[in-house]
Chain A
């Protein structure tokens, strides 16, 4: 057949342009997988399959029929279809993981969410009736909101011009923003804590601060915004 290497996007573009020519050796992709090009991604959304046959459109019916003949990759082990699965929490756990110790990372995440919930419950029980309505106790809501508050709107990129690197303000994609928020949170909790404080304790504290738009991670985001504002004049160095 060919090598079992999957083509990257760039390689795809090039090869489609070269379909007229005889088989050309593929470009070496940056990331590779053991699956070849014909393998399709698995459909892990249960709701997709719960639709009754009558409601499917022509296109969807065709696609489903086609998939019966296609090769499908195996679903990753983290996609469980459980009601408790949260892609953001999984991503955060993976970023916290060190040396492949997923068990430890998951335990830390679980203990963090438990710590957040306990703190909020204690606050709730100590508060008066009016304040109780404003206290959020669901740890997942707090987690999502905290990370959303930490996401920067605009980022800085070092661009080489005339022998110097300039920090140029640049719009960020959603993925990059989420990544930066999580990265800053984890770095902050790893570096700026007392030797004897455990990660769940520190992380729960930082998440609660970020939820209320306070704390060192929010400050870092705001610093980033200020620097972008200060370097506004360099924006035309960007060419994309």
Chain B
């Protein structure tokens, strides 16, 4: 009996103003897993025998912890205690050009902080043109060690400089600009708005220094890796601006670290991203998917599980199992997108059984998986069964080691919630009675190895859940208790 182990990763809700990079503030720790070290180098929970009790308990501790400060408090102006410390630190670090630069830094800070409070939409031009970044950056990297403090201070100053458009800078302050120029790899001719971008486009190389910055996904990658994964408004933004920029978030970095050190002989670890609305769960999932696609994993991305339990027309009774219901449209669209993203694997993987579709058609043993997918796309009636076969084969064959499998499901709480679908006699349908949901539940169970499972809990699009619900036990209900999750919360 394989012990269940799951990693719950919370995405932070509070947007911190940029002035919170403060040496006097203790580092806020909302992330339960790596409580000891601020860096992401703690070993991931990969061994089943030593169940990560410590981490599970820390999960519950984090969830029990009340919000450290309310939104209004966090936005209150900070007292300028940094002054003396900054000067000494700056002098000590020796990174500031001369004593004049140090004085400029200290005199700069309080007015900068107060100006940030005022920095809002530019008056009289509510929609200034020319913003090339697809998402607004969430400010506020947290300070964890003195060594990176000056780096972050300089970044803050550089950002304030960008916000002020040079109004508060007097002619003598060359230092902040020089620090910013040295620390960010920018060409001298680039606009200050490019401050929150990074050139590092490979998610494998993303580290702490890229936190809060945007990296761009090439449009070619967008077509192959994300035929269906991204939120619809994001896709609209990509179409308008002609570029896809994703912000590097701390939970995503943590997740990538775990994925990099996955032990493929152990059962798949389930990573659950949860958090309030708008904190970046879906896009962190997409970041992980992009990483795995670049590392040549086989990615099974279900963009929104809620779509499979509501607003479905044309439910058919399944031919394979009379108790269940098929969803031909949803299954065929998913198969089409699956084919686009994993073209190269479909010819390599061979099915291990013979599948008979009807009197005339069947797929022989040893034929490539692509044939099953084609069958599902062309014969829409068999699409759900094709999906079931694809999932079964991949689950079986991921253990052999020919490929690594990533199962990414957005809105996994849909699989264990309620549906709004009804039969012809108006009786409600439980999610278990839908064949797609049944197959996906088996996929999300960690009794296979050779990959990882990344899940997102989402209240948006969920059915019969209040808007304020975001915690795992609120959205998943009894299922989260069945996973090794402390009830003492």
Contacts and interface: CB of A to CB of B under 8 A. Distances in A.
B240 A118 contact: yes
A125 B126 contact: no
B241 interface: yes
B341 to A, nearest CB: 26
B129 interface: yes
A121 B243 CA distance: 12
Nearest to B242: A125
A122 B126 contact: no
A237 to B, nearest CB: 46
Nearest to B125: A138
A138 B125 CA distance: 8
Interface size class of B (residues with CB under 8 A): 10 to 19
A83 B125 CA distance: 8
A87 to B, nearest CB: 14
A83 B127 CA distance: 11
A52 B451 CA distance: 71
Contacts of A139: 127
A118 B236 contact: yes
Given A83-B126, A84-B126, A138-B129, A121 B121 contact: no
B127 A117 contact: yes
Contacts of B126: 83-84, 140
B239 A83 contact: no
Interface residues of A, number: 12
Nearest to A136: B129
B118 interface: no
B123 interface: yes
B127 A122 contact: no
Given A118-B236, A137-B129, A138-B129, A83 B242 contact: no
Given A137-B129, A138-B129, A122 B239 contact: yes
B241 A125 contact: yes
Nearest to A124: B129
B124 interface: yes
Contacts of A84: 126
B121 A122 contact: no
Contacts of A117: 127
A84 B125 CA distance: 8
Nearest to B132: A125
21 contacts: A83-B121, A83-B123, A83-B124, A83-B126, A84-B126, A117-B127, A118-B236, A118-B239, A118-B240, A121-B240, A121-B241, A122-B239, A125-B241, A125-B242, A137-B129, A137-B130, A138-B125, A138-B127, A139-B127, A140-B126, A140-B127
